[in-house]
Structure 1
Amino acid sequence: MFRIGEFSKLTQVSIRMLRYYDEQGLLKPSKTDPITGYRSYTAEQIPVLQRIIFLRDLDFQVSEIALALAHWQDRPITDLLEHKRLELLDEMAKIQERVDKIDIAVKDVQSRKLDVHCNVILKSVPELSVLSLRRRIPDHFCEGNLWLELNRFVTEEHVALDSGVNNLALFYDEKEADTEVDVEVCCLVKKAGIGRGDFVYRLIAAEERMACVMVYGPYQNIGTAYHTFAKWLEEHRYYEMRDPVRQICHLGPFNEEDPKRYLTEIQVPLQRRD
C-alpha cells in the first residue's frame, strides 16, 4: 500500500488532483486513517487512475467519467468515445460559426459598413389578432425552430392568415436574458380559432407610441440597428423603452433569395419618463 505522496510520484499525478478525484468520488483511497486522515492507495488502483486521466484528456466531464467508470466492463468504450467525438464536432462547428461572424465583422469594419445610419421613426400600431407560440429557447438562433412549429400548426389546422406580411416575433425581458431567451412568434390571422397546447389565439394590444427602425440586408445588420436605436434613445431621454420588443420580417428567406435584399422592421414600445 502506498501513501498519497508515494502514489503521486508513482503515477505522475499531483496530490492535489488525487484529492480532487477523491472528493468527486472518482477514485477513493483504498484506506484512510481515521485519526490522521492520511490516504493510502494500492497498485490495483493504478489502472482506474489511468482510465480517469485518459477520459479527462479527451475532455470528458466529471459526471461523464463517473458514468464511464461505472459501466466500463459492460459498455464498449468505443460507444463512449464516439458520443464524445460527436459532441466535440458539434462544438467545433459552433466555434467555426463564431469565427466566421468575426471575419464578417472585421470586413464590415474595414469597409465602414457598421457605420450605416438607420432612421428611427415614431408611429402608432393597431391591435393585432394573432396565433402565437411562446417559449424560452437557448438563444436567438433557435427562433427558426419556433417558426417551423408554428407554420406546421397553421398548415395542419388550415388557419386563415391575414393578407400581406403576417409574421411577428416578440422578445421579452431582453435586458435580463443572456440565455433562455423568452420569445413569442406570431402569425396574424383573419379570425380567432381554437388553440391547442402552446398554440394560442390572442389579441396583441395597440401601441400609441412605437419607435421603428427598418433594417436592410442580412440579419447580421440587426445588431447595428439596435445600436442606432440606443443612440437615439440617449438623445431623446424623455422616452424609455418597454417590453416586448417586436420584430417583423418583410423580406426574408421565405420570399427573397438574396440576403442583401432582406428587410426587417424592429419595433420598440416607448413610454414617457415621469
Structure 2
Amino acid sequence: MFKISEFSELTNISPRMLRHYDKLNLLKPKITKKDNGYRYYTPEQINQANRILSLKNVGIPLKEIAMLLDNPVEQTNYLTTHRKKLETELAEKKLQLAYLDWLEEKKTTSTIAAVNHPVETKNMNDMFVLTYREKVASYYQEEQLWQKLFAGIRTEDLPALSRSMAIFHNDSSEIIDIEVMITIPEKLKTIYPTAKFFSPGLIASVVTSGAYSTMPKVHEDMREWLRLNGYVPAGDIFTIYHSSPATKEREELYITEVCYPIK
C-alpha cells in the first residue's frame, strides 16, 4: 500500500489532483482512514493512473474518462471520433498559420499591401430577378446596362425593387460580358415574363467600402484566400451593390460585396 505522497511520486500526479480524482470517482484510494483521512493506494492502481493520464494527455475531459475506463468498446469508438476531431482542428490550425504567414508577408512589403479583406462563406438563397446582359469594351460601360435595365421597368414597380447585382461572365475574349440584375417580388412575374431565378448557392464574399479602384486588390485577396482554404471557383463572379453611384454621390460611401461561387 502507498500513502498519497508516495503514490504521487510514482505516478507523477500531484496530491491535489489525486484528491480531485477521488471526488470525481475517477481514481479512489483503496483505503481512506476515517480517523485521520489518510489515503492509501495499491500497486494495481498505478496502471489505472497511467490509463487516466494517457487519455487526459490526448485532450479527453476527466468527467468522460471514468465512463471510458469502465467500457472498453465505448472507449474504442470514442477514441476514433476524438482522432477525427483532433485531425480537423489540426487542419484548421494549419490553415490559420498559412493565412498568418501570408498576412505577415504582406505587412513587410508595404502599408497598402498589408490591408487584407476578411472573407465570409455562406449559402445564398434563390432570388427572383430582372436582368439585362450585354458585352462591352470597358467596365465603365456597366452604367449604360443599368440604364437599359431600368428603362424596361414600370415606374409604379420601382419601390418593390430590392438588391442590385452584376454578374461578370467568364469569356476568353477581351470583350467584357456583364449581366446586371435587380431582385423583384415573384408576384410581378406576369408583368415581367423574362424575369428568372438567380441561384448563387455557396459563396465566399468580401464586403468593402470606397472607390471601385480597390477592386483588383479585393480580387487578389479573394483568390489567395481560396487557395489557402482549398476552395475553387464554381461559377461566375458577381457583385452586390449595397450602395453605389445610384444612391451615393461620394465614392467613399460606396459599399460593395464581391462574391465568388465556390466548391
Report the counterpart of residue 88 of structure 1 in structure 2. none
1:263/1:236 CA distance change after superposition, 3 Å: same
What amino acid sits opposite 1:243 in the alignment? G
Aligned-partner Cα distance in 1 for 2:229–2:110: 30
Report the counterpart of residue 187 of structure 1 in structure 2. 182
Whether 1:159 and 2:153 are equivalent positions in the alignment is no
1:259/1:160 CA distance change after superposition, 3 Å: closer
| TM-score where L is the length of structure 1 | 0.51
After TM superposition, give the deviation of residue 242 of structure 1 in Å: 2.0
CA contact under 8 A between 2:200 and 2:261: conserved in structure 1?
A: no
Report the counterpart of residue 73 of structure 2 in structure 1. none
SS at match of 2:142: helix
Residue among 210, 225, 249 paired with 1:232: 225
Report the counterpart of residue 203 of structure 1 in structure 2. 197
Aligned-partner Cα distance in 2 for 1:267–1:180: 21
CA contact under 8 A between 1:123 and 1:210: conserved in structure 2?
A: yes
Larger Rg: 2
After TM superposition, give the deviation of residue 262 of structure 1 in Å: 1.2
CA contact under 8 A between 2:203 and 2:259: conserved in structure 1?
A: yes
After TM superposition, give the deviation of residue 160 of structure 1 in Å: 5.3
Q: Deviations over 1:17-75 (max 9, x none)?
A: xxxxxxxxxxxxxxxxxxxxxxxxxxxxxxxxxxxxxxxxxxxxxxxxxxxxxxxxxxx
What amino acid sits opposite 1:219 in the alignment? Y
1:224/1:111 CA distance change after superposition, 3 Å: same
Report the counterpart of residue 132 of structure 2 in structure 1. 133
Aligned length: 153
Report the counterpart of residue 79 of structure 1 in structure 2. none
What amino acid sits opposite 1:230 in the alignment? R
Aligned-partner Cα distance in 1 for 2:237–2:145: 17
1:171/1:118 CA distance change after superposition, 3 Å: same
Report the counterpart of residue 76 of structure 1 in structure 2. none
After TM superposition, give the deviation of residue 146 of structure 1 in Å: 0.1
SS at match of 1:233: helix
Whether 1:222 and 2:215 are equivalent positions in the alignment is yes
Aligned-partner Cα distance in 1 for 2:157–2:237: 25
Report the counterpart of residue 172 of structure 1 in structure 2. 169
After TM superposition, give the deviation of residue 268 of structure 1 in Å: 0.6
Aligned-partner Cα distance in 2 for 1:148–1:114: 35
Report the counterpart of residue 255 of structure 1 in structure 2. 247
After TM superposition, give the deviation of residue 161 of structure 1 in Å: 5.5
Aligned-partner Cα distance in 1 for 2:191–2:168: 24
1:1-274 equivalence runs, <5 A: 112-155=111-154, 158-159=156-157, 162=160, 165-173=162-170, 176-177=172-173, 179-191=174-186, 192-195=189-192, 200-207=194-201, 209-237=202-230, 239-271=231-263
1:193/1:247 CA distance change after superposition, 3 Å: farther
After TM superposition, give the deviation of residue 246 of structure 1 in Å: 1.2
Question: Runs of 4+ in structure 1 displaced over 2 angstroms?
Answer: 110-115, 158-163, 193-196
CA contact under 8 A between 1:171 and 1:246: conserved in structure 2?
A: yes
What amino acid sits opposite 2:233 in the alignment? M
After TM superposition, give the deviation of residue 134 of structure 1 in Å: 1.2
After TM superposition, give the deviation of residue 256 of structure 1 in Å: 1.8
Q: Deviations over 1:172-198 (max 9, x none)?
A: 115x34x221111111001224448xx
Aligned-partner Cα distance in 2 for 1:111–1:144: 34
